Amino acid sequence: MVIKTIAGVLLLAVLVANSVPGRASQAPTEVVNGIPHQSLFGIAFDEAKGVAVGAAGQILSTRDAGKSWTTEATPNRLGLLGVAVRGERRIAVGQMGQILLKEGEGSWQIIDGGTQERLMAVSLNAAGEAVIVGSFGLILTSRDGGRTWVKGNPDWSQYFAADAAELGDDFKPHFYAVTVSDERVITVVGELGLILRSYDGGCSWTVLHRGDQAGGTGRASLFAMDLRGDGKGYVVGQGGLVLTTADGGTSWTKLDIGTEAHLLGVATSPGGDVVVTAMREVLTSRDGGTHWQKQDALDIKTGWYNAAARQQGTGAVFAVGHSGRIIRFAE
């Protein structure tokens, strides 16, 4: 009887070991708690420096890897939706074509980008090349660190001519996320499961993925992206859609993470940690996306978290959302 009991315990241990990741769950901790009418929509880090932006032009910054955050003066009260940080340069974008630039210890300055469209996201590389994406197919590029901007979007009719009867003759997809590498490779994601790439700084574009084509993943929009330098990456979007790549974005595979929620943010680490934010859900993986767990700490089940970013030094992931809140997932 004792032998059978021991054997049963060993079998249970093997089953448990094979069904869950080896490391503990990434339960978040609260870093900043604002007030109910506040909302934060974007966050970005470069080493210890980070910036979070949100409604009514709110800007928070950190210089100690996210341990403490300080409110910064803003030149207007328009909502800010995205932000990028690189070295001593920071760019924030948002409603009504708003572009804000801060260099060094200077103040935030309003930059004229030549548009009134809603700007959703911005990315900045080490050379000072920056890209903004927004509504109705808008892509803006800068080669001087965000001081001046030009339109970089192509003639969208060439991409959707065959679908004009259904989408309309003047269809222009909304874009929600962008990244520009130090090698000047630009990747943008948005409506119709679109993933586009430019290898020449925005002069020409290639479709890497389109969800509504034969064999695609459907018309779900893609809202967020994290592409790492080691080639691993994720994009997330409507209805629980997650796509992953292991070759820097050339090819993409659909990944089932066990939810149909609208996924709003994603951040990853080379160690295999992945954090996906959503409306009333946050999902985490500690093994590169093989196993997933829904988090229920803090107010996750009743609130929303819109964007996530990894702090490179500690490996921690920070997420921002409702009530001006910032939460932290330790690596």
- What does 2-38 look like in DSSP terms, one character per residue? HHHHHHHHHHHHHHHHHHS-SSPP---EEEE---TT-
pLDDT of residue 23: 52
Domain 26-329 -> CATH class:
mainly beta
pLDDT of residue 215: 65
So where are the chain's domains? 26-329
- Report the SS3 class of residue 191: helix
In this prediction, the residues of the chain whose per-residue pLDDT falls under 50 are 1-22
Q: Contact at 8 Å (CB) between 262 and 239?
A: yes
Cα distance between the two ends of the chain: 43
Q: Contact at 8 Å (CB) between 55 and 16?
A: no
Q: How far apart are CA 14 and CA 9, in angstroms?
A: 9
**What element of type H or E holds 123?**
strand 119-124
pLDDT of residue 25: 54
pLDDT of residue 214: 62
pLDDT of residue 2: 40
pLDDT of residue 161: 74
Which structure tokens are listed for 185? 């490779």
Which structure tokens are listed for 320? 């921002």
Residues sharing a CB contact under 8 Å with residue 287, sequence separation 6 or more, in sequence order: 21, 22, 23, 272
